[in-house]
Structure formats: C-alpha cells, structure tokens
Structure 1
C-alpha cells in the first residue's frame, strides 16, 4: 500500500499555500470533466471553453481556468463580461429572498486578448465556498487562428445608410471572400434582401452595425427551400442563407461563422411601445398578429403574404408558409453563431436544417411577440450546443424538429444537444421537442438554465398521426418562475392553426419516453405544474418519465392521462391552491415515493 500522510499534513500544506498567496487544494472536490472548445468557438483573439460539471457538484461554487499553468480567472466573473444572460440570472436570484430556487452552476469561459496563431493549453479546477480548488481537469489544447483576410462590405459599394439597398454590395464581398476570410459589416445600417453564404467564412456584424431586412417581398427569392424532402411548398429565402439556389438540390457547406455585437433585424412587424424588463431596460414588443391581421400589423410579413395571395395561394397557406425567417442554413457541417442580437423576424429566427455541430453562444433574441418568432430551431440535425443566451421570443425559444408523418422514417433523427446557462424570459417554451417528431428527437441535455415568464419549461408536443416522438431527454438543475401555462407538458393534443398538412399521416402516434427531470424549482406557475396527455383510448401512452427532487410553489398541480411505467420521487407541492394536486387517469405502472402531498 502506498504511503498516505496523516490528515493534519494536508491541513498544514493548505495553510502554507494560503500563506504563499495560493489557493489550497481540496481532495474532496471533484475536478470538472469533458473540457472542450465548442465547434468554431475561437478566432485570432479569443477561445471559448466549456466543461461538464462533476457528478458530485453540491459544494462547488465556481470554477477557475488556467492557461499554460497560469490563472486566467473564474467562470462567474468571466460570465459577467461576456454573457448577456448573466445579469438577468443574477437579478433572478437577488429577487429570490426566500432562497427557494435551485442555484445553477456556470461552466463556460471565454479567454480573451490572446495572440493570433498561437497554441494554448487549458485546464479548469472546481472551487468550493472556502476558495479551495480541486485538482486540474484533463487539459485541452487549442490554437488561435491567424488574422483573417478582411472583406469590408463598404469597399464593395455598401452604403450602410439604412435607405439604399445594399444586397448586391454585401453579396459581392461574400463572393470575393477567400477561404478563412471575414466579411465585415462595420458600424451603420445595411438594408438588404436575401444573402447567400459559402463555406469557410465568417460574417461579422460589428458593434453599432445592423443588417436590416428589406421590406419588399421581391428581395427574397421564392426559390428558397423546402422544409422536408416530401414537403410540397417552396418557402422564400431568408435574410441570411446557406442554401443551394435550387431548393430541391443537394449542396453541402462547412465551417460558417456568424458573429459580432451588432443586430440582425428582420423588419417583419410593426412595433408596440417598448416594455420595461426586470432590470429596468427597454425591450421591443412587436404586434402579436395572425393570418387575419397581418395586413395591419406586418411590414415584410404583410408584403410576402400579399405577394403569395396575388399569385393565387390562399391566405392561410400564404401566412403559414411564405414569410422569411432571419437565418436558414441547410446541410452545413460546423456552424458558430456568437454575440449578436436578433430582432423582428417575419417568421422564424434561426433555422438549422440537416446540419451538424452547431453552436449558439452569447446571443440575444428579442422577438416578442412576433407571431412564430422562434429563437433557434434544429431539424434532423446532429450536435447542438446552446449556452449563455437570452431568449425573449414570440414562439418557442430552443426548438427541435424531426419531420412529419409516415415519410419521416426515412430521415435522420434530431439528436445530441446540450443547452445550459441561458436565460429564458418570454416564449412558448424554454426547451421544446416537436411538434414535428416523425424521425425522433433524442439525446438532449438541458441544465443550469433560468426562466421567468415563459409559457412552459420543458414542452413536448405531437399528435396521433405524427409518428416518432422524443426520447432520452434530461432537464435538470434549473430554476423556473411565472410559467404561464404548464411548467412541464407532454401532449399528443397539439394543433397549429397555420400548419399545412402536406404529408402522409403516420399510423403511429408520437410518444415521449425516457425523460428525466431532476433538481428543478418552479415558483408561481400560473397553470399546471405537470401535464401529461397521451391517448389511452387508442393505446397511445407516454412512458418512462422520471421526476426527482422537483419542488413547486404556487402551481395548480399535476394532471396525468395516458402515462405508464413512470416514477415521481421527492416531488413537493406547496401553496398549490387545489384540493388534490395529483389528478391521474388512464395510466398504469406509476410509482410515487416521498411526494408531498401524496396522491389521494
């Protein structure tokens, strides 16, 4: 047996380290694991790091990051500098004077001020409340890029005055861009129609710059894209695209970055007076429209619907299919979005179709209450990472889709996503699986997020004829407040009034299975705490739901139908305002352990 010094030897060593100005090591603290640099999350001056927290993280208060053995700083302090979500998260916890809510951990770091074309070796240590550190994590080595060749759009004729149409000038800069280059929009307002990116490039919208979508429908080619291979409607191009010019052709792209501290403005809708948020800051509030009011409420949305109706399309389909999103990327391997602000899309925000390794970091999405104004969507894609973002959206915040109906079985699933350290303000759901579930949505981890005001937290939605479903989803270590409808919903009763049923219905119902929710606090939910709606009459059940250490204060309780083989452990209701917070029908194989109050 190797020699083990007595415990007081460790204590004396720790005191000596403190005397020397060093942090003592804690042999009880576990080191982080999985230290990595997200896809394309680096340039010539900075490198972003993320890591997995240890299994036993109860005593961890922070993390410290080292480069080449030298301390760079702590995760919390760095997050204060780079994450637009962090001030909202801090405000949320300042308001939690009763200390009801679960405390999240911050596990990312942006190393800044680095040298171009230089390799750095990084490690991370866990830190407890006394300042003691764990051992080092496994190291990761990353090299910064050389300084990129710069293609300034003004040198290609862009005016940036908000009135001239700069589409052709910006596209000339993109077309001229050499592999590894950067196309720069400096300070100014650049009105543009559809732009088409290519592989191996960065588009930077600088601080003080706005890429403003044209209000004219004719500036967005109608030959944009089809959502799925079996879809019948060709949708118009978005403001920013990585798409083949033929919507039914196959073209692969890779290594695309869209970054900067500027703004992407879709110019979709008219604006209400701003709202004042919980930090005393003004946020945009767009007119909440639909397919009967678009003409009075819309800008680009109005023009595109009217154009489609003039071509003979009915209003419902025109409204549901012919509005432009802000960004649509298809079949792209390696994407990084970072730093910018998204406002006012005519349709969706950022769409990623059949893509691989997509990262969204340090962005702000203020699209509330633009109809269908999602934050970011992933469809039939593999590998997504979403962290340090603010979502204040007119629809779902982070949404996953996987095809519709019987033909979706020929598509790849939507899989592998990690969502953490985000702040969700408004939106139909924080993390949403569906309603397009046909090829399965699977392997999602959402952790260490904060929400205040979304309709739902974890929202899973499908139908009896959609097929597939969602499976292997973890939602943990998060704090929710003021959910409007349900904190957690799993339903087969979803209906989109604007959806076009241009697909063959599946004979198999959607299903949600193997979903694990743990260590979550929910306060002042205005609707249900948990709602499960299968279809027991037609033998369509959800199964394998596990809720552990989840506490609700002020929610209306749980209503469960069409669920089997599931477990609820240490689920606590307080101030629930109903006679019995558990309403269970049409279900079997449910177990309740240490729940308060117990089901009657």
Structure 2
C-alpha cells in the first residue's frame, strides 16, 4: 500500500492510515453520504478516503465531500468524516501523521509522483519535513521464512533509525488493527522492546497486506512502515498419529517409532502430522519435505540406544577427498532427523544414513507441546558437575564409554540438515543426549518462541555439550573441492525464545580449519533478537568453528541473565576465518540494545585461543574484525570482566603479529560491578577501532600500548591505561 500526499482547501496534509472504504478514522464522525454536507462549528480536521487511503484537510464550516474539497483524493464516491474536536496546526492527526510521512522511507518511494512532487516543494511540506519531533516508522518489516500458516502470520521488524521516544508498535493487516506491542518483561525487572508479532485469527488462503507503525507514550502513531504482503496457506490435510492405520499410543511407555514414521510418510504436500495430547515414546524419526509437524503432546525419546541408528555425521565432508584426512566422529541419529531412512520402513530394513543429503525443504515444527529427549538425567561421572540424559549414558556406554569414540557418539535431539525453508516455533525442548537443535547446511530459517532447556535443576553445569541451537554453515546444492554449488545466504531469524543450557545457548558456526575453509559456506544473514538466556557458556556465540566466516549478523534487544558470557566470539589461529569477506552493503556483526545481568564470566569476549588439534590447519589465522557493539548495559559478577579481547595465548596475551583482531567498536557500554576491561590482541586506527563512552563502576581498564593508543578511547572510565 502506498501513501499519498495531497493539498486540501486550507492546508497541506498527509494521507494517513489504512481504513476500510466505509469506515471513518478512529475519533472521527462519518458524514451520512459522500455528497452530503457535513456541518461543523469552527475549524476541524476532515478526512476523505477509500481503499485504505485517507486524505486529511483542515477546513472551516460546512463542506461537501467532493474533489474540490480534497484535490487528488480518491473519487467522490468515498466516505467523508470530520474530527469533532477543533483542529489546529498541531492536530494530533495532521501533525503526527504528516510529519512522520515526510521522513518515511515509504513516503520517499512515492516522492516522484506528480502530487508528491508538488507538495514536496511547498513551504508547508518543507516545514513538516524538518520537524524534529516526528515519530519514524519501523524498518524492514518482513514475514520470516515459513512464518505463516492457514490462520496466522508472524511479522518482524527493526527499530526506526531514531527511536528514543518509541514505546511500542501497532500492527495492521488489510487496514485493521491486529495488535499492539510494547516491552517483553523478563524476570528481575528486565525488559526488551518487542520487535515481532504473531497475527492470529486469519482466514486460510487469503492475501493480507501488513504494515507496522511506531507509537510513543501519548499513543501517537508514525507513518506506515513498508508494506509486506503474505497469503495464508490453505487449510491442511491433518494426519493424527493416533488414527488408524497409524494407531500410535500416547501412554508414555509404548514405543511408537513405526507408527509415527508411517504417519510422516503418509503426509501429503502441504499436509500436517499431528501428535496430540499424550506422551508418545519413539526412537529416531525422519521428516519429509513440504509438511508441518504439530506437536501438542509430548514426543518422548526412547532411552534405548538401539532405537537410534548409528552413523550420523555432523560434518560428513570432513575426511573425504579434498576436504581433509581425518573423519569427523560418528554419532547416533537424533530423535528428529532430515537425513537418512529405510527402503522398507515397516521392516526397518535397507537403511541409508544419507549424511550428505540436500533438497529438504519447507518443514515446519510447531505446536503447544514438547520434545523430551529422554526419561530423565543423572550425573556425568566423567565430567564433574555436568549431567547426561539417560539416553546419553546408554549411547556412550554402547560405543565404548567416555573415550574418543563413546562420548562423541551421543545424539543430538534434533538433527536438521540440508533444508531450504525451516520453521520451528512454540515447542519446548529438553533433555538432549548432546546438542539440542543442530541445524546444518540449511538456509531460510525461523526459530520463534521456543524454550530450549538442557539444565536439569539438580546439576551445577547442565547437560554436557547441551547447546540450545547450533546453526552451522548454509545451504548449498552441492559441496565440491572448488567450492559450493548453489550456495544460499543463511537468512535466519531467532527470536522470542528462552534458553537455559549446559553449553552455549545460541551458537553460530561456520566450519573449522582446512575442511571448513575449502567448503566455503559462510553464515550470512542472521537476526537474533528478543531472546532470554539463563545458564549457558555463552548467550550468543560465534565459533569456535569459524573457517568460512560470518557476516550480516544482527544481535538486538536480547537479555542475558546469569549467563557465563553474554556475547562470545571465539576462534583459534589455526581454525581460519572469523568474519567473511565483506562486500558492498555487508557488515560483520552489529549488536544493539542488549542487556546483561549478573554475568558470571565476561559480558563480551573476543578471543582466538580455541586451537583445533583434529584437522589440518586453515591457511590463515582465525581472527575477528568489523564487530560493532552499542548500548550494552547491565551488571557482571565481582569476578567477571565487562569486556575482554585476547589472542591465542589467552587472557592478557597477544598472538603472533598478523593474528590480531581489528576494527572493533564499542559505544555506550555501561556495566556495573566486575573487574573492568582488559584489551589485548586488538589493533586499528581510532577511526575503526574505538571505545566510546565505555564505562564500568569497578575494576581497571588496561590495553596493549604496542597496538593501541589513547586515541582509541574516548569518554571511558576507569581511565584506560596502556601496558
């Protein structure tokens, strides 16, 4: 939907909000008929519009809804209305809408129209455009990949370029207000501004035009954002796993692997497999493309190692010709998989692991239920303080115990590989044998409103290796020794979710060492926002697999509460990569408006001490650059650093020349508590490597005087000291 600027009889105004053809704007009185005289006393704000476009004019006395009143407005068969309140030059409708449109990206897109051009040159329009009090609309409103079904559409957006007075957003679909967002409230009084909304109650197979508007504390609205158009899906054919001939039993003890797999195999394109209320125990399951898997009950993993095929390979290219000489360790298949299967599903014969699978597409995993990887957990005798799920204990024992073969054999809870189009929303995940959601070689991904918990309450360190999400590399049609074929950007959205994990919470990895460098599948385009992390080694983590690099990573409005490290960048000098090659319009990492509370280790760490002894060295060191962090606030524990950068030697040591991090910017960082800042193995001129208004209430601020100077630090406290 476009916005139009028109000239009314008395003043220049902006076409405002999207309303139905027969509806007056909110707060307006509708005239009886288009040709009727609307009688007013004094000066009022009048509106005329059709097809979701309204024009406004400041008029005095009676008026008739005709084009003579509203030049260039929609035809005079449209409705007119007027604001009973006396209008003025600061009218809440005329002023807030007109001034917002003047700076709107949408308004600028129609600036070339004859009407817009004539107004743009008017003195009134000029004064409106220069208004400093205008609310700007949100930016880049999109529907994330597959974030729509027959009755709902999820939209996400970015904040306006200026947002100090923005308190929330209103979401409109086909001109109708569908919802208002403000802040997400987390425990201990922490909030984040919500940047997504799920529009529910929609009609199947119907087109919707959606816009979002910023609002301020008074309730005033901005102009429209860009318009995003989305059609809901048709009502799907539903296959209930309890129905005949599948007949799965949700009693918590019957093993339903064959029954549920039979239902999956029967899912038609665009169909849905439903796991209803109840607890459905199962071994390894293998998903089909173009289907939705709705889990409203509990999908419970069997504790028997034999119920999961062995021979999965998280990085199957490693060890093959041209990619490396050392094979990546095998492990068991997950409870939910996209690679592998049988030629005879009923007899479970003719199995092929198919670890190099590609071509999976359009998979949705949704529902109000949970995926629980095992019946329980207990202490890991080999790793003090950590726990393992019952299944993990059994899988490790079946492959030789806690050794180089047995421990890596533990399965992931979900192994989702080779997918172009993945949507996982609202489901709870717990008790994985190893990682929780391992998403490899995939693109166009949405992870929304999940709860990923690998921290049994009795443990002191959580499930060993129990990452929340591992998002690894990106989709390609094929990987060759000369590079990927048909490589896609990652294009992933991770938002609105809670993580409480025994290892990293949200981990991005781009392959490691020489094999990862040759594969050349960078993590490109990931938005991480409105998430909440508790226990975990890192809240949002890049690495330690960094070989192909990262770019266009946005980390916004997340809260890290009690996490060891909030933002964790880790690589090794022989792992390669760090940040991918940046082209025009690309950026490395931008982190904005994140909050930390009681961080136990470091709020931010950038390090290159994670050496890889397994694979051949990458041709260049792993280093980080082009990281831009702003508006980070909160607290760290007494023994924690606010920011630390270091090299391969660890804390306060530098790597060899040429392996330093560079182009890191920190702006408006305000941390209470802790030990302050220790900045080593970081270089760059002050134009590109800069600490501006970076403060801590405690500790010291030290940096390597051989790599940086006082010019790299502006408005910092404590006073930075070179060493």
Q: Same fold (TM over 0.5)?
A: yes
Cα gap change, 1:135 to 1:169, in 2 (>3 Å):
same
Q: Which residue of 2 aligns with 1:581?
A: 701
SS in 1 for 2:399: helix
Are 2:422 and 1:350 aligned? no
Distance in 1 of aligned mates of 2:138 and 2:151: 25
Distance in 2 of aligned mates of 1:307 and 1:152: 34
- Aligned CA RMSD, in angstroms, stands at 2.7
Cα gap change, 1:294 to 1:598, in 2 (>3 Å):
closer
Q: Which residue of 2 aligns with 1:475?
A: 591
Q: Which residue of 2 aligns with 1:452?
A: 561
Q: Which residue of 2 aligns with 1:376?
A: 469
Cα gap change, 1:370 to 1:268, in 2 (>3 Å):
farther
Are 2:247 and 1:157 aligned? yes
1:562, 1:586 within 8 Å by CA — same for their partners in 2?
no
Distance in 2 of aligned mates of 1:116 and 1:588: 59
Cα gap change, 1:126 to 1:298, in 2 (>3 Å):
closer
2:387, 2:463 within 8 Å by CA — same for their partners in 1?
no
Measured against aligned partners, the alpha-carbon deviations of 1:415-455 in whole angstroms (never above 9, x if no partner) come to: 11001111112211111001111111222100011121111
Which is further off, 236-245 or 291-300? 291-300
Gaps of 5+ in 1: 80-85, 95-102, 272-286
Measured against aligned partners, the alpha-carbon deviations of 1:379-421 in whole angstroms (never above 9, x if no partner) come to: 1121110011011111111101111111212221111100111
Match of 1:538 among 656, 674, 678: 656
Distance in 2 of aligned mates of 1:50 and 1:389: 14
Distance in 2 of aligned mates of 1:359 and 1:121: 21
SS in 1 for 2:695: strand
| Greater relative CO, 1 or 2 (CA 8 Å, sep 6+) | 1
Q: Which residue of 1 aligns with 2:532?
A: 423
Residue correspondence of structure 1 range 207-218 to structure 2 within 5 A = 209-218=297-306
Which is further off, 226-235 or 460-469? 226-235
Residue correspondence of structure 1 range 159-558 to structure 2 within 5 A = 159-206=249-296, 209-231=297-319, 232=327, 233-244=329-340, 245-267=352-374, 270=377, 287=379, 289=380, 291=382, 298-309=389-400, 315-368=402-455, 369-381=462-474, 382-411=490-519, 412-470=521-579, 472-494=588-610, 501-526=613-638, 527-535=640-648, 536-539=654-657, 540-558=659-677
Name the TM-score, length of structure 2 as normaliser.
0.72
SS in 2 for 1:469: coil
Q: Which residue of 1 aligns with 2:162?
A: 56
Q: Report which of the two has the higher share of helix.
A: 1
SS in 1 for 2:678: strand
Shift of residue 251, structure 1, vs aligned partner: 3.3
Shift of residue 315, structure 1, vs aligned partner: 2.8
Distance in 1 of aligned mates of 2:692 and 2:386: 51
Distance in 1 of aligned mates of 2:356 and 2:168: 49
Q: Which residue of 1 aligns with 2:141?
A: 35
1:340, 1:363 within 8 Å by CA — same for their partners in 2?
yes
Distance in 1 of aligned mates of 2:497 and 2:655: 41
Measured against aligned partners, the alpha-carbon deviations of 1:277-323 in whole angstroms (never above 9, x if no partner) come to: xxxxxxxxxx4x364579995411111111111xxxx7332354100
SS in 2 for 1:572: strand
Shift of residue 228, structure 1, vs aligned partner: 4.3
Q: Which residue of 1 aligns with 2:117?
A: none
Cα gap change, 1:19 to 1:491, in 2 (>3 Å):
same
Distance in 2 of aligned mates of 1:543 and 1:12: 59
Cα gap change, 1:144 to 1:7, in 2 (>3 Å):
closer
Q: Which residue of 2 aligns with 1:559?
A: 678
Q: Which residue of 1 aligns with 2:204?
A: 116
Higher gyration radius (CA) = 2
Distance in 2 of aligned mates of 1:297 and 1:135: 53
Q: Which residue of 2 aligns with 1:136?
A: 224
Cα gap change, 1:562 to 1:293, in 2 (>3 Å):
closer
Gaps of 5+ in 2: 1-5, 17-42, 46-55, 59-81, 100-133, 320-326, 341-351, 456-461, 475-489, 581-587, 649-653
Shift of residue 117, structure 1, vs aligned partner: 1.2
**Count of residues in Structure 1 that have an aligned counterpart in Structure 2:** 552
Are 2:263 and 1:147 aligned? no
2:302, 2:375 within 8 Å by CA — same for their partners in 1?
no
Are 2:93 and 1:93 aligned? no
SS in 1 for 2:171: strand
Measured against aligned partners, the alpha-carbon deviations of 1:62-113 in whole angstroms (never above 9, x if no partner) come to: 111111112112023xx8xxxxxx442xx3436xxxxxxxx63211111111
Cα gap change, 1:507 to 1:143, in 2 (>3 Å):
closer
SS in 1 for 2:555: strand
Cα gap change, 1:290 to 1:474, in 2 (>3 Å):
farther
SS in 1 for 2:147: coil
Distance in 2 of aligned mates of 1:201 and 1:7: 52
Distance in 1 of aligned mates of 2:268 and 2:281: 24
Shift of residue 555, structure 1, vs aligned partner: 2.4
SS in 1 for 2:538: coil
Cα gap change, 1:19 to 1:171, in 2 (>3 Å):
farther
Shift of residue 223, structure 1, vs aligned partner: 2.5
Distance in 1 of aligned mates of 2:565 and 2:83: 48
Distance in 1 of aligned mates of 2:166 and 2:637: 29
1:388, 1:421 within 8 Å by CA — same for their partners in 2?
yes
2:386, 2:463 within 8 Å by CA — same for their partners in 1?
no
Name the TM-score, length of structure 1 as normaliser.
0.86
Cα gap change, 1:17 to 1:484, in 2 (>3 Å):
farther
